[in-house]
Amino acid sequence: MVSFLLLGLFAPVFASAQLATTNSMQISGWIPYWRSERGVESILPHIENFTEVNPFMYTVKIDGTLNPASLLSNPEWVKLKAKAKELNIRFVPAVMWANADAMHTVFSDPEKRKAHISSIIREVFGNGADGIDIDYEAKYAKTRPYFSLFLKELKEAIGFNKWITCTVEARTPLDSRYSSPEAIPDGIEYANDFAALNQYCDSVRFMTYDQERIDLSLNDAKSHPYVPVSDIEWVEKAIRLAMEDIDKNKIAIGVPTYGYEWDMFPALSGSGKTQYSKLWSFNPGYATGIATKLGLTPTRNNGGELMITFPASQAPEPPIPLPNATRVLVWSDAEAIKAKMDLAVKLGVQGIAIFKIDGGEDQGIWNILPNYKYTGNRAGEKSPQTANAETKPLPSSSQIYNIPTRNLEKGAVHEDVRTLQKILNNKGFVVAKSGPGSPGNETNIFGGLTQSALASFQKAHKITPALGYFGPKTRSILKSQ
C-alpha cells in the first residue's frame, strides 16, 4: 500500500476457520483517509458483507508515536463505527509506517518500543476500536527480531481482548525471483519472521498486489505486455509459500481495486528486449474513461485483469512519450477480484482483504461479495481452542486439580498460577504452544499469555467481563465442570 502514499496521485480485507463446504469467508476492507467520505459512503450500503472494516488513517512520527492523518471523531468514521458495532463487525484502524531507519531505531530500543505500544494502546482503547492493523512496510532484515519482539509485547499488552491484524508484503518464491538456482544469493534474510506472525497476529494479510515484474518465471512465460497488478498465478505461489509457516485460517489474500499506467518500449540499449516505465496509479473509472474517449474495448489480459493499449502519442493527458512507446493501462475489476475470492476458497484460507474502498472501485464487486458472505461468528473467534474445548469430552477440573481459592490477575507470582495454567492447558485453552506456559512447562507467573488464555475460556463460557481476571465467577464455573 505504500506505493499510493508515495505516488500521491490518484486516490487510487480475516478470523475463524473458514467453512470448507461453502464459499463463506471473512472479508475486510481498507478505507483510506484521503478519500474517507467517499469510502464510507461506498461501503455502508454493503457493510453487512464484511467481517472487518479498516479506517486507513494512522501514520507514525519519527519518535514512534502515532500520527492521526484523520480523526476518528470525524462524522464519516463515527457513522462507520456505529454501523459496524450494530452488526458486530470489527472496527480496526490501520497504522502505516514505511521509515526503515525509524522503525529499527524504535523497535531495537526497549523504552522506545514500549512507548510506541503505549501510543497504540491509547488510540485503540481511547477510541473504542476492536484492535489495530499493523502495516509496517520496507523494514530492514536486521529489524526482524525486534519487530517480532514488538508484536509479542503488543499481544501481551492488548491481545487478550483486542484484535491484532498484521499486514505484510507478499513473498515471491526464490525460484521465481531469480533466473536460476545459481543466481540465488547465499544467506538471504527477510524482514518478517512468518513463524512470529503466526504466533502473535490474529490475522496476517498479504499485500498480494503491485506484482509488476517481480516474478521472472511468469515474465518469461507470458507475452508482452505483462505488468500485472496481481496475477492470480503469482498470488497462489505467494500464499502457498506463506502457508508453510502460517496457519491458513489466519491468512488473508490482499486484493487490489486499482490499476497502473505504463509506457512499454524497446530497450534503449538496442538489446531487443522490452522495457516498462511506470507512470502512475489510477482507479478503474480513469481507464474506462480513456477507453471510451479512444474508442477502445478493454480486454482480459494474461494476468486475469483488464487492459487497454494504444500508442503513447495518443494519450489524452500524456507526459512526453518515449519514441515508439506503447501506453499500457492494467487494472483490477470485479471479475479479477472474484478470481482471488475463488482462490481463497480453494486454498481454505481465512479470506480476503480489499485495498481499497474509496468510491472508485469497480462497482461490480458489490454484486459479488454477497456470494461469499461469512456465515460464522460475525466478530470472529480469536482462539481456535474454543471450539475444541466445547466439543472434546474432558474430565472434571475438581477431580484433577485443587482449583485456586485466591483471586489471580496479571502480575501475580504464585503456585496457584501454575495450577491455573494446567487447568487451561487441559481444557484446550493453551497458554503457550511451546516454552514457558505450554503443556508440561507451566509456570508460577501470571503474564499476558495466561491472561489471554483465561479470557478465551471466559468468553467461551459467557463469563463477563472476559478480561482474563480469575475471580469468583470463573472459579464457580470450574467447580461445576
Distance, in Å, from the CA atom of 332 to the CA atom of 237, rounded to the nearest integer, reads 19
CATH number at residue 325: 3.10.50
198 contacts 250 by C-beta, under 8 angstroms: yes
Strands (E), 46-149: 52-60, 66-68, 90-91, 94-97, 131-136
Domain assignment of residue 446, yes or no:
yes
Per-position b or e across 391-400, b if 16+ CB within 10 A of its CB = eeeeeebeee
Closest CA to 451 of 400, 411, 419, 414: 411
Q: Decide: 46 and 366 in contact? Cβ < 8 Å.
A: yes
- Could you tell me if 287 and 362 lie in one domain? no
- The answer as to whether 461 is a domain residue is yes
pLDDT at 474 over 70: yes
Does 412 lie in the same domain as 300?
Answer: no
pLDDT tens track for 367-383: 999 999 998 765 444 53
Are 211 and 346 within one domain?
yes
Tell me the pLDDT tens digit for each residue of 445-456: 999 999 999 999
Range of the domain at 423: 385-480
Residues 138 and 181 in one domain: yes
379 within a domain of the structure (yes/no)? no
For residue range 96-155, list pLDDT tens digits in order: 999 999 999 999 999 999 999 999 999 999 999 999 999 999 999 999 999 999 999 999
Tell me: do 282 and 294 sit in the same domain.
yes
Domain assignment of residue 62, yes or no: yes
In terms of domains, do 298 and 408 share one? no
Rounded CA separation 251/352 (Å): 8
Given a cut of 50, whether residue 437 has pLDDT beyond it is yes
pLDDT band at 177 (very low <50, low <70, confident <90, very high): very high
Whether residue 378 is contained in a domain is answered as no
User: 200 near 194, Cβ under 8 Å?
Assistant: no
If one counts the domains in the chain, the total is 3
Cell of 123: 488510540
Residues 350 and 469 in one domain: no
- Alpha-carbon span 30 to 59, nearest angstrom: 14
Co-location of 197 and 79 in the same domain = yes
Q: Which amino acid is at 20?
A: A
Q: How does residue 427 score in pLDDT terms, banded at 50, 70 and 90?
A: confident
pLDDT at 305: 98
The answer to the question of residue 380 being in a domain is no
* Exposed/middle/buried for residue 406 (C-beta within 10 Å: 0-12, 13-18, 19+): exposed
C-beta neighbour count of 268 within 10 angstroms = 9
Mean pLDDT over 86-94 rounds to 96
pLDDT tens-digit series, residues 14-70: 333 333 346 889 999 999 999 999 999 999 999 999 999 999 999 999 989 999 999
